Structures are given as C-alpha cells and as structure tokens.
Amino acid sequence: MGTSSKERYVTALRYDGLTSLYDPILQLTMREKIFKGRLIEQANIQKDQRVLDLGCGTATLTIMIKQIQPSSDVVGLDGDVKILKIGRQKIENRGLDIALQVGLSFDTMFPDNSFDRVISSLLFHHLLPADKRRTAAEVYRILKLGGELHIADWGRPSNSLMRAAFLGVQLLDGFAATTENIQGKLPDYMQEAGFQDVTETDRLNTVFGTLGLYKATKN
C-alpha cells in the first residue's frame, strides 16, 4: 500500500511495472514465512474475531491469517487496485472467504470499534511522517476496546551492515517516508495515538535491513 496523498501514492515496489514481482521478491529475500508467521503468532487471534490486514498487498498475510484461524472474519485493505487483483485471484484459487477492499490506511471508512485485531506488514515505511500519525490514529479508532495492533516493518538497524543494506529500500521508497523507521519512531506514533503496552517484540535481519515486530493495545 502506498503513501498518503493522491499526488504521491507509491505502489508496493514504487513502480507499477514491478507489481507482478512483489511476491517472488519477498519470498526470495525477506524470510517472509518466518516473519509473517511470527506476526500472526503474536497476534493470538481467537475464534470469531474480526481481523483487518492493513495494507494487505497481494493478500499473502491475509490468507495465512484465515488458514490459521478459519473461524475469524478477515478483511484486507489496500489502496493499490492492481495488487488487490492479484490478491483476489490467490484467494479464489484457495477457495477462501476473505473480503479485500480498496482504501487508504488513514481513511479506512470502517465504523468505530470494528476490529479485534489490526495487522500490518511492510506498510508504514511507505507513509510520510504525517500519515504515519494519521494511520496510527485511524487504527486506534477502528479497534475495539481491548483490541490490538500488530506491525511488521523496518526498524532501527541492528548494526552498520543492516544500515547499509537499508539504503536500497530508501532509494526505492524514498528517504522522506523511511527515515523515521530506521530512527525507531514507529512505537512513538502508536503511543501518540493513545495505544498502551507498546512493545517491540522481535527483530529479524534481512538482506534489506532490520525488520521489527511491534504490538500495542487499545485499553
């Protein structure tokens, strides 16, 4: 899912022509099954809970959630119509009941208190700082009391090698959107939005940099 404004919407790999390569690149370079599996595990989704995959992309994570907890009501949201088409085909191929909707992370159009869990993978680094804040506030609004936000995204590099590796992501997705990720500011946005128990739960080194897992609760 891309950035906030219509003037600067950025697709998953920045260039529209690269959209079809999104799944293969993540599978080959990002330890995708590992970090998404850990993200779902920490979300601890219960039977019949309603879950939003925010910035769902091609719905890989969305599908994993539904397969692990079949009784959950899973919704995916993304602003990229082309990438959602790929996701819908993957869902249809697996015969799953998952709704994918077009929308932006900071203006989801869902009612207040709609979800038990909001899960987001590799979305926030696409957003400019103001829209990181807006997105955190929007997630807080649509979560039920006691609901949880779970994020996997780029965080503070664990060493100089990981910092150097992340330069490729910054060149692709833009320094304005990515700098605060590597400054470790994602938890700050969650706290500003009103979340409590904000925690970095895990860190994974990848060929593109250090990936952080985070969780927060609406109390």
Tens-binned pLDDT, residue by residue, of the chain (219 aa) = 444 444 444 555 454 555 556 656 666 656 688 899 999 999 999 999 999 999 999 999 999 999 999 999 999 999 999 999 999 999 999 999 999 999 999 999 999 999 999 999 999 999 999 999 999 999 999 999 999 999 999 999 999 999 999 999 999 999 999 999 999 999 999 999 999 999 999 999 999 999 999 999 999
Q: What local confidence, expressed as pLDDT, does residue 11 receive?
A: 56
Spatial separation of the C-alpha atoms in residues 14 and 1, rounded to whole Å: 10
CA angle 188, 193, 196 (to 5 degrees): 75
Spatial separation of the C-alpha atoms in residues 56 and 122, rounded to whole Å: 9
Task: Determine contact, residues 50/36, Cβ cutoff 8 Å.
Answer: no
Superfamily name and number for 6-217: Vaccinia Virus protein VP39 (3.40.50.150)
pTM of structure: 0.89
Helix residue ranges per DSSP H, the chain: 22-29, 32-43, 60-68, 81-94, 129-142, 160-173, 175-182, 186-193
Phi, psi for residue 67 in degrees, rounded to 5: -70, -35
Sheet holding 209-217, edge to edge: 99-102, 73-78, 50-54, 115-121, 143-154, 209-217, 196-206
Among 1, 34, 3, which Cα is nearest to 177's?
3
Task: Determine contact, residues 57/34, Cβ cutoff 8 Å.
Answer: no
Q: What local confidence, expressed as pLDDT, does residue 32 receive?
A: 84
Q: What local confidence, expressed as pLDDT, does residue 17 receive?
A: 52
Q: Which residue ranges make up each domain of the chain? A: 6-217
